[in-house]
Structures are given as C-alpha cells and as structure tokens.
Amino acid sequence: MGLMDGKRGLVLGVVNDYSIAWGISEQLFKEGAQLGFTHLPDKDPANPKMARRVRKCVEQFNPKLFMPCDVQVDADIDAAFAAAKETFGELDFVVHSIAYAPLEDLKGPVHCCSREGFKTSMDISVYSLMAVCKRAKDVMPNGGSILTLTYLGGERVIPGYNVMGLCKAALESSVGYLAHEFGQSKIRVNGLSAGPIKTLSGSAVKDFDKMLEMYDALSPLRRNVSLEEVGKSAVYLLSDMSTGVTGETLHVDSGYHVMGAPPGDAKLAGA
C-alpha cells in the first residue's frame, strides 16, 4: 500500500527530469498516485519541442492526462481543469511548480526591474496559483491538497535572486489567504521551500553555485538537499499524513533557514 494509492492529481511545471515538479512526480508515482501533466505550449505547433521533451520525461509515470497550458491564458487553465474533470472525475491534489521572470529583469537589481517585467513575473509566479486554486476547487468536492514551490529568497534577501524574491514573498502570502478561503471546503494549501536545486530556472539565478556552496558550509546538516528528499516531503504535504496542515511553508533545506550566523567550522572558498 502506498501513501497515494487511489489519489488523483494534476502537476503543472515539469520542464525536464531536473525539475522539482519531476522529482515530486517521481515520489507521488512510487506511492501509487495517478498523475496528469500540463506543459508550456509550443510556439510552433508543427515542431512541438516542449511537448516532446516533457512527454519523454513523464511517460514513465503513465500519465492519464497530458496537455498544454499557458497560465497567463485563462482559457488554457479552464481547459486543463475541464480535461482533468473528464479524465479523473475528481482531483485529490494539485502541484503548482511555476515561476518565471524575464531574464533581463531577473539578472538586474530589483530597482532596475521594468514595469512590464514586474507584471509578467508576478502574473506567472503568483497570480497563476490563485487562478489554479480557483479552478481546482470545482474538481475537489471532497477536499484535497494544493502545493506550490517557493524559496528562502521570499523571506530573506538572497543576492542574485532579485525580483523573484519579491514574487516568492507574494506567493507565500497568497498561500495563507488561499488556505483561509478554501479551508471550509476541506482543501489545504501549502508551500514547500526547497534548498537550491540545479533546475533550468535555477541556472538563471546569478551566483547559483555560490548558493550551493553556502548550504554545504552553513546548514545544520552541512549539505544541500536532494531532489528525492524534496519529493518525499511534497508527498507528505499532498497525502493524508498531513490533513491537519494548511497555510504552511515547509522548509526542506537541511535547516539552512534557521541559521543567523555562520557555524564555527564553516569553510567557504576564499575565506
């Protein structure tokens, strides 16, 4: 018996098999979940590179649903959840692992972020969770669990994380408000704040390698977390093992977030 036997869910945000959403999906599948996936639509339907790439890395999970969805297009989100209802009848969980900032705005300091870049970043990284939760409510008549992904840069200043830190702060705030609004419908909304994982989006963050080094040197466990560990913690939040948990941001970061000063044995390059 797996923790997710009989559970049906939709995962948004897999890009490749380095994605945190992929790591979560792997653990959900191991625990018996039935999964559906969305992917970013291809600009050229005649050459669906994105669809092929994502399908290839999720096919081992025997997806019951696989379709494009641009979270900036309401009709796409409507179509994805309509398809989920037709495929599964009801959903038990949704994984929202979507964030984006235009590269020129992400790379520069916060005060130089363009107005349009800020709007786009907040729309995709924050508003999309609200839009997804609104649709998910209609296919969770018996309750369920919704999980989004965040990072410590939403709570603390992480040099190089820049405008995405502002987005994560807003995202974490929205988790609390959504948890309040959906609680009486028995729908739980939580965030998972993972340590830095080498994903496609992570590669766009300035000095990402330095972030990895900091976790190895400063966290209580003296190491960073693995994709498998993040996935297992996500299963906890999505399963019936956490039915009393909502509005929470669970840190899966080897304890890095609790540190206020470097430990005495910390060794950093150049120190």
Longest dimension (CA), the chain: 58
Catalytic residue among 161, 177, 215, 256: 161
- Decide if 151 is catalytic: yes
CA–CA gap between residue 51 and residue 6 (Å, rounded): 27
What are the residues whose beta carbons fall under 8 Å from the beta carbon of 177, sequence distance 6 or more? none
CA–CA gap between residue 65 and residue 56 (Å, rounded): 14
- Dihedral class, residue 192 (left if φ above 0, else alpha if ψ from -120 to 50, else beta): beta
From 117, 121, 110, 107, select the one nearest 204 (Cα to Cα).
Answer: 107
Q: How far is CA 263 from CA 79, 219, 222, in A?
A: 51, 8, 10
Catalytic residue among 100, 151, 215, 256: 151
From 190, 12, 226, select the one nearest 100 (Cα to Cα).
Answer: 12
The amino acid that residue 255 corresponds to is G
- Decide if 161 is catalytic: yes
What are the residues whose beta carbons fall under 8 Å from the beta carbon of 244, sequence distance 6 or more? none
* Residues annotated as catalytic (active site), given as ranges: 151, 161
